[in-house]
Chains A and B, each alone.
Chain A
């Protein structure tokens, strides 16, 4: 078996965690994001559909949901960037006996809000939400959602009946969104005791009634912490935005080659900017015209632009799955995605230009990016040089100066003179 390689990680580095159907890989770079070291494979032979970076504690913790076709799934963690992973003797995420259900796969690991550092959430198949209040030591099934009367009518999508999206409201601790394929979006306003479907306006092309209360095949939902009532949704056919916490959804598929797709990523600093990778159709799950194009909106979906510089524009019949796209919190932001064909691409400039970070991996099913130790806010050299590079990108610098200033994306002003 191939030997596992470890990467040396330090504060300020950017880490891209790549989960595949046969193991996980850790990509590390300095803040410049030009050269990447590759570590792995971790958990060879196990699929890794969920990874997470939790920087809230004293030591950064990496999480991985690993699944063996033979031996089942378990949630593991590492506090030394993958040199050692926990191997719980007993499965730590499991259904209570009286449910009659068995864990098929862990789909999402989501650290809770910064002010609740011991809280983590986990989305699984069959569709259910688990919560930990002790830093991941023990996990409990959320019964409010599991016992929902709609459960019997949720149907598995192509990936299984999975709960793949968990969005704690950044400002309201009682509110959280989850999404199920196929079940749709559900919201709690009472800390998880009760859940209401929030799918008004979202299409379900595969049902006789196109706009049911629930049952949509939602592929991914994202939101920006500064605007928790605004959500963006990539549907199984359909791109949507909600400005009222999911109460209603508006079609925003304006100028994309297809509104089918899986992944969606929110810009870390700009609540108007979202990234997607359109896919031709549910019958032909490949990038349209053989062109690998990331689409970006910078006006909350009024228009979308193709980002192609550095991405193959012919003979690229690729697919990017629902959790295989992520952003880092550097400025300018890094954007990353992985394909079913085992390629990982990254952009250090918010999507203006791309390069292949690695190829030849097993099919990529999850990508999570993080800045180790968090982004330093005191204008480090790293940040300044990154902003300088960004200012050279025409797609970013000239068209929206007011918005750019408002979101603080390009700190080009001189420091105030000392008096």
Chain B
């Protein structure tokens, strides 16, 4: 099982849930995210662009490590991992 931690803004697209659990295992963060938006389609376009890239000011962590430094969406996801979707502090510029 893996667990997604959902930030406040996106909970309006997860029926209010701050945690979303997925059964079984996944090969990568990309696959985990695909399964997340099968369950909650509204999350998709908020987290990734129409080209499938994680938005500039959104960070995704597997455990404590940002996927920007571990292979991006190809980052492997160990059994039992927590995946965090977190708005970056840089987003407050304007």
| Contact present for B51 and A97 (CB under 8 Å) | yes
Q: Does B79 contact A (CB under 8 A)?
A: no
Query: Interface-forming stretch among B19-27, B41-49, B69-77?
Result: B41-49
In the bound complex, how far is the Cα of B26 from the Cα of A394, in angstroms? 75
| Contact present for B42 and A69 (CB under 8 Å) | no
| Contact present for B50 and A69 (CB under 8 Å) | no
> Given the complex, which residues of B lie within 8 Å of A96, measured CB to CB?
50
In the bound complex, how far is the Cα of B12 from the Cα of A74, in angstroms? 15
Query: Interface-forming stretch among A6-14, A84-92, A147-155, A196-204?
Result: A84-92
* Interface size classification for chain B: 20 to 34
Minimum distance in angstroms from A49 CB to a CB of chain B: 11
Minimum distance in angstroms from B42 CB to a CB of chain A: 4
| Contact present for B42 and A90 (CB under 8 Å) | yes
Choice from A91, A102, A103 contacting B53 with Cβ under 8 Å? A102
Q: Does B57 contact A (CB under 8 A)?
A: yes
| Contact present for B50 and A70 (CB under 8 Å) | no
B: residues with CB less than 8 A from A are 9-10, 12-13, 41-42, 44-47, 49-51, 53, 55, 57-58, 87-88, 90-94
* Interface size classification for chain A: 20 to 34
> Given the complex, which residues of B lie within 8 Å of A47, measured CB to CB?
94
Choice from A22, A70, A74, A95 contacting B9 with Cβ under 8 Å? A70
> Given the complex, which residues of A lie within 8 Å of B90, measured CB to CB?
69
> Given the complex, which residues of A lie within 8 Å of B87, measured CB to CB?
70-71
> Given the complex, which residues of B lie within 8 Å of A101, measured CB to CB?
51
| Closest A residue, CB atoms, query B47 | A71
Q: Does A159 contact B (CB under 8 A)?
A: no
Question: Are A87 and B46 also in contact (CB < 8 A) when A47-B94, A71-B58 are?
Answer: no
| Contact present for A102 and B50 (CB under 8 Å) | yes
Q: Does A100 contact B (CB under 8 A)?
A: yes
Choice from B12, B51, B92, B94 contacting A102 with Cβ under 8 Å? B51
Choice from B50, B51, B55, B94 contacting A21 with Cβ under 8 Å? B94
| Contact present for A103 and B93 (CB under 8 Å) | no
| Contact present for B50 and A103 (CB under 8 Å) | yes
| Contact present for A71 and B50 (CB under 8 Å) | no
- By Cβ-Cβ distance, the 4 closest A-B pairs, closest first, are A69-B91, A102-B49, A91-B45, A71-B46
A interface SS class:
loop
Question: Are A94 and B94 also in contact (CB < 8 A) when A70-B55, A87-B12 are?
Answer: no
CB<8 Å pairs between A and B, sample of 25? A47-B94, A68-B9, A69-B91, A69-B92, A70-B55, A70-B58, A70-B87, A70-B88, A71-B10, A71-B46, A71-B55, A71-B87, A72-B46, A72-B55, A89-B13, A89-B41, A90-B41, A90-B45, A94-B45, A95-B50, A95-B51, A96-B50, A97-B50, A100-B51, A103-B50
| Contact present for B91 and A94 (CB under 8 Å) | no
Minimum distance in angstroms from B56 CB to a CB of chain A: 8
| Contact present for B42 and A89 (CB under 8 Å) | yes
Choice from A22, A70, A87 contacting B57 with Cβ under 8 Å? A70
In the bound complex, how far is the Cα of B91 from the Cα of A257, in angstroms? 38
> Given the complex, which residues of A lie within 8 Å of B58, measured CB to CB?
70-71
| Contact present for A69 and B94 (CB under 8 Å) | yes
In the bound complex, how far is the Cα of B87 from the Cα of A170, in angstroms? 44
> Given the complex, which residues of B lie within 8 Å of A100, measured CB to CB?
51
In the bound complex, how far is the Cα of B44 from the Cα of A100, in angstroms? 17
| Closest B residue, CB atoms, query A74 | B45
| Closest B residue, CB atoms, query A91 | B45
Choice from B41, B49, B88, B93 contacting A72 with Cβ under 8 Å? B49
> Given the complex, which residues of B lie within 8 Å of A95, measured CB to CB?
50-51
Known contacts A72-B46, A89-B13; 19 additional CB pairs below 8 A are A21-B94, A68-B9, A69-B57, A69-B91, A69-B92, A69-B93, A69-B94, A70-B46, A70-B58, A70-B87, A71-B10, A71-B47, A71-B58, A90-B41, A90-B42, A91-B45, A91-B50, A97-B51, A103-B49
In the bound complex, how far is the Cα of B49 from the Cα of A306, in angstroms? 46
> Given the complex, which residues of A lie within 8 Å of B13, measured CB to CB?
89
In the bound complex, how far is the Cα of B86 from the Cα of A70, in angstroms? 9
| Closest B residue, CB atoms, query A101 | B51
